[in-house]
Every structure is written in structure tokens, then in C-alpha cells.
Amino acid sequence: MKKFGLVALLFALVLVGCGDGGDRQAKYLERAKKYLAEDNLDKARIDASNVLQINPKNAEARLVLGDIHVKSGDIRKAYGMYQSVLEEDDSNVEARVAIVKLYASVRAYKEAVEHADKVLAVQPENAEIMGYKSVALVGLQQKEESRSLAEKALALDPGNSPALGVMTQSLVEEGNASAALEMLNKGQQANPDDDRIIMMKIAVLEKMDNQSGVESELSKLVARHPESSSHSVTLARYYIREGRFDDAEQEVRSFAEKNPDSVEAKRRVISYLQQHKSREAAIAQAEAYIESNPDQSEFYTSLAQLYLFVGEKEKGMEILRTAVDRDPRSVGAIEARNLLGAIHYKDKNMDKAKQMFDEVLEIEPQNEIALTTRAGLSLAAGEINDGIADLRIVLKNNPANSTALLALAQAQEISGSEGLALDNLKKLIALKEPDAQT
């Protein structure tokens, strides 16, 4: 009896443990999805990974990680996550839909259609997948079939944004922008939270030269996303284009006021005043920001650049040194050192320039500006291997840095590695080639 009781107790503990694991999975997964929706990718990644620590085969967590990789721009890892779900369960529609979206986004239209057909074979009225397939068919120049499928998708879901995109393009090409706008209005009623529909409306309204409509839709985006600098910048640029400089300034200032912790928003006010009002107004604003927050080194950097821009080098350098002294390891101090290094480099004071870049790299070893410029100093001094080492770090972090690619190719040619130099020149040419599909 004692033995039976012990076994029963152990079995009960195992069951409790499994229940806790399931509860923890659900908790982590819920938080991961919440963070993903808020674009807090680091926290979303941690919680989704915690789910997989408990259950490595959890498909939902893998899908969340795939979505995180998409938002991070790592398409290869995203595909790997989605594919791993399908390897466990080939009938997982959510993973298949994610792969269709992925293929459509990178213009692999044939593969997008193939995966879409697998979904439609089991869910023939899946409006979402119809919409993405219609996009892929446009890419394959099958416009009639694409439009027909988009119409079917919209009959099922008037707010289907991929299908709306296909139909909008088709109607505008026919010269029927008013019909496109009417359709988008219906789509917006059905799907009011999709910003892509607003962006399509803006494009159509521009085509119709309906400027009040354009302003209204841009303002909606700004109101909906008060923390988004991109929407605020777009609205301000619209006002500038229309010659409405007071409205543009008001928008730039309004965004800074709504985001009081954003140093970049305040620096955008300074930049706007310099470009569209006066240097004096920009200097006064930078000085006001410094007075209100004297330890924020980035404001000093902005002020220094205003003086450097008009050739007041000594004044600018003095302010940059103040930025470094205020908070030596801050973002603004790093930026100030890079600017000081560039000034010393231009003045052919190579030792001081190298000192500045060395100080930056001691604080931030991956700093692209400091690495690239220090590499130039090394190559000019004949220290080829040191220059190559810095350039390789730059290209590891940013393979599309054309300046670093060209410098590395030249350094490799000097060092006798003609084959490696040729490979990097080919990469450089590939970067500069226009996309044949655009």
C-alpha cells in the first residue's frame, strides 16, 4: 500500500508539473503576442523563446518568432521558423499563409502561388489567401486572373487589403480613380484598423488631386499613431510641399510635445528650423533645449553642427568637446567624437583623428562610422591588415555598406588578394544594379 501511495503521489506530481508547464506556455505566449503587437520585439522574442524552452514543438510560438523575424527584416530566419511548423504539421494553415505573405513580399511570386494553392485546396473560401495570391498573380503578369480572384476575395471580405491593392491598381490604370476610392471607402468601413487602406486612399486622392482628402487621411494616421515619427514626418513634408511652412513647423513641434522623452523629436525641430526658417531660430531652439536639459549631450551636437555648417569651426569644436565632457559615454558624446574625428581627418591631423575614433570604439566596438573612418586612416598609413580587419567588422554587421565594400576590395588588391578583391567588387556591382522587377 505504501508503494502504491508513493507511485500515486509521483504520478500526481507529474500531472501537476505538466499543468504548470501548460499554464506557463499560455502565459508566455499571450505576452509574446502582446509585445509583438506593440512592436516590442526584444520582449516578444524572450517570451516566445521561453515557450519553446518548455515545449520545443509549440507551433504558435514558432509562428510568433517567425513574425518577429519578419519585423526585424530577417527573412531567412522567418522562413525557417514557418517551415519548421509545416515540417511538424503540413496542414497548418497559419504557417502556410505566413509563407505566402513572405514569398509575396520578396517577389517570389511563383512560390507564393504554389503555397496559396495548397491552402485553397482545403479552404477554398479563404479570403486572406485569395488576396495574397492575387498580388502574386499580378507579379506574374496574370492580371485578368488576378483581378478575378481579388474580386472574389472582396466579395467575402470587403476589407481585404491585398485584394484592395490589386483592384485599386487595376482601376487607377483604367482611369477610374473615383471607383477605386469608393471601393477603398467600403474597405475602410469593413477594416478600419488597417493603415494600408489609408495609404492606398492617399495615393488615389493624390491621383485625383484631392489635396484636402490627402491632408485628412495623413492627419488620421498621425492621430492614430502619435508615437510614430514616420507618419508625422510624412505630414510635415506634405505641408512643406504645399508651401504651408507654419503648419509644417506646428506638426514638427506637436510631435515633440507629444513625445517628451524623445530626444530625436526635439532634434527634428532644430533641423526643421535650420532648413526652413533660419539658422538663428535653430540656434535659439537648441540653446533652449540645452538650458532645460544641460546633461543631454545630443543637443550640444545639434548646436555644434549649426556652427560647423556655416564654417565656424572653432565654435563648433568647442561645443562638441562640451558634449563629450558632459557625459563621455552617451550617444551624443559618441556622435561628437565621430564629428571631431572627421574634422581632424579633414585637417590632416591623423593622430588626433585616430584618437577620437579609438575612443568611440572603446565604448561602442561596432560603431560603423568610427570603424569605416579608422579603416581609411589605417589604409592611408599603409597598415593594410588593420584596415581590412575594421572593414570586415563593418560588412559583417552591414553587408550593403558600399563604401566599406569598395575600400575592402582596394585593400585586398593592394595586399595581393586579387580574387577576394574581385568578389567584393562583384558584390558592389550587384548592390548598384537596379531591381529588374521594380
For the cut 80, the answer to whether the pLDDT of residue 419 exceeds it is yes
pLDDT of 323 reads 95
* pLDDT-derived band at 430, boundaries 50, 70, 90: confident
* pLDDT-derived band at 182, boundaries 50, 70, 90: very high
Question: ∠ at Cα 376 (375, 380), nearest 5°?
Answer: 115
**C-alpha torsion 291→295→296→301, nearest 10:** 80
For the cut 50, the answer to whether the pLDDT of residue 19 exceeds it is no
* pLDDT-derived band at 9, boundaries 50, 70, 90: very low
Q: How many CB atoms lie within 10 A of CB 249?
A: 19
For the cut 70, the answer to whether the pLDDT of residue 258 exceeds it is yes
> Would you say residue 386 lies in a domain?
yes
For the cut 70, the answer to whether the pLDDT of residue 8 exceeds it is no
CA distance 149 to 163: 8
Task: Give the pLDDT confidence of 363-397 residue by residue, as tens digits.
Answer: 999 999 999 999 999 999 999 999 999 999 999 99
Question: ∠ at Cα 408 (405, 410), nearest 5°?
Answer: 110
Q: How many CB atoms lie within 10 A of CB 363?
A: 15
> Would you say residue 10 lies in a domain?
no
DSSP character string of 329-386: TSHHHHHHHHHHHHHHHHTT-HHHHHHHHHHHHHH-TT-HHHHHHHHHHHHHTT-HHH
pLDDT of 16 reads 39
Give the residue-averaged pLDDT of 208-215: 96
**DSSP helix/strand/coil, 136:** helix
> Would you say residue 282 lies in a domain?
no
**DSSP helix/strand/coil, 74:** coil
For the cut 80, the answer to whether the pLDDT of residue 267 exceeds it is yes
* pLDDT-derived band at 91, boundaries 50, 70, 90: confident
Domain at 410, CATH number: 1.25.40
> Would you say residue 384 lies in a domain?
yes
> Would you say residue 358 lies in a domain?
no
pLDDT of 157 reads 96
Task: Give the pLDDT confidence of 40-87 residue by residue, as tens digits.
Answer: 888 899 999 999 999 998 999 999 999 999 988 888 899 999 999 999
**DSSP helix/strand/coil, 89:** coil
> Would you say residue 327 lies in a domain?
no
* pTM, two decimal places: 0.75
For the cut 90, the answer to whether the pLDDT of residue 18 exceeds it is no
Q: How many CA atoms lie within 13 A of 364 on its CB side?
A: 20
**What is the number of domains present in the chain?**
1
Give the residue-averaged pLDDT of 313-318: 96
Give the residue-averaged pLDDT of 119-141: 94
For the cut 90, the answer to whether the pLDDT of residue 137 exceeds it is yes
* pLDDT-derived band at 5, boundaries 50, 70, 90: low
For the cut 90, the answer to whether the pLDDT of residue 127 exceeds it is yes
> Would you say residue 292 lies in a domain?
no
User: Taking all residues of the chain, what is their mean pLDDT, rounded to a whole number?
Assistant: 90
CA distances from 237 to 6, 231, 282 (A): 74, 10, 18
Characterise 293 by phi-psi region: left (phi > 0), alpha (psi -120 to 50), beta (else). Answer: beta
Of residues 277 and 1, the one with the higher pLDDT is 277
Cell of 40: 516590442
Counts for the chain of helices (H) and strands (E), in that order: 24, 0
For the cut 50, the answer to whether the pLDDT of residue 13 exceeds it is no
* pLDDT-derived band at 424, boundaries 50, 70, 90: confident
Identity of the residue numbered 251: E
* pLDDT-derived band at 37, boundaries 50, 70, 90: confident
- Could you tell me the sign of the dihedral formed by the alpha carbons of 70, 72, 74, 78, in that order? negative
Range of the domain at 425: 377-433
CA distance 421 to 41: 37
**DSSP helix/strand/coil, 47:** helix
> Would you say residue 401 lies in a domain?
yes
Cell of 326: 558632459
pLDDT of 21 reads 60
CB contact set of 45 (below 8 Å; sequence gap of 6+): 32, 65, 68
